[in-house]
């Protein structure tokens, strides 16, 4: 049973470029969450998606950031025109049901984005 797969593990982008982070949830999971983590800080919620729908994007900056979870294929977190402050570890997690349930989150091992 494959876990949550994130790729790439490491991504280096120059300021102004675009970053695309991919996440394949666990088999049978239709709920995906994206979190951002800076060193010595906790996980900060960005966005919660179900298949083809954004349920809650309250933690995601309005500009430059977007997320999708299409009917087929992985969830994508897209950061346009990256700046140095976007450098962080981005984690994806999946769950078989919504946050109101008692199901735990299953995390991938993250994508470490470095903006030079």
Partner 1 sequence: SQKIEQNSEALNIQEGKTATLTCNYTNYSPAYLQWYRQDPGRGPVFLLLIRENEKEKRKERLKVTFDTTLKQSLFHITASQPADSATYLCALIGVNQFYFGTGTSLTVIP
CA pair distance 7, 64, nearest whole angstrom: 20
Identify any residues that bridge with 114 across adjacent strands, giving them in sequence order: 12
* Shortest CB 78 distance to partner 1, Å: 20
Please state whether 28 falls in left (phi above 0), alpha (psi between -120 and 50) or beta.
Answer: left
Stretch that binds partner 1, among 14-22, 53-61, 62-70, 71-79 (CB under 8 A): 53-61
> 20, 30, 56, 78: which one contacts partner 1 (CB under 8 A)?
56
Binding residues for partner 1 restricted to 79-108, rule: CB under 8 A: 91, 93, 98-100, 102, 104-108
Residue placing its CB nearer to partner 1 in the complex, 21 or 110: 110
CA pair distance 48, 33, nearest whole angstrom: 4
Q: Is 4 in the site for partner 1 (CB under 8 A)?
A: yes
């Amino acid at each position: 049973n494959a876990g949550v797969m994130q790729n790439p593990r490491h991504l280096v982008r120059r300021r102004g470029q675009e970053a695309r982070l991919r996440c394949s949830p666990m088999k049978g999971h239709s709920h995906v969450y994206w979190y951002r983590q800076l060193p010595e800080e906790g996980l900060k919620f960005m966005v919660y998606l179900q298949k083809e729908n954004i349920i809650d994007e309250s933690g995601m900056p309005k500009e430059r950031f977007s997320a999708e979870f299409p009917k087929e294929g992985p969830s994508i977190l897209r950061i346009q025109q990256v700046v140095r402050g976007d450098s962080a570890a981005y984690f994806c997690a999946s769950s078989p049901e919504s946050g109101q349930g008692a199901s735990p989150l299953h995390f991938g091992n993250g994508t470490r984005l470095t903006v030079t």
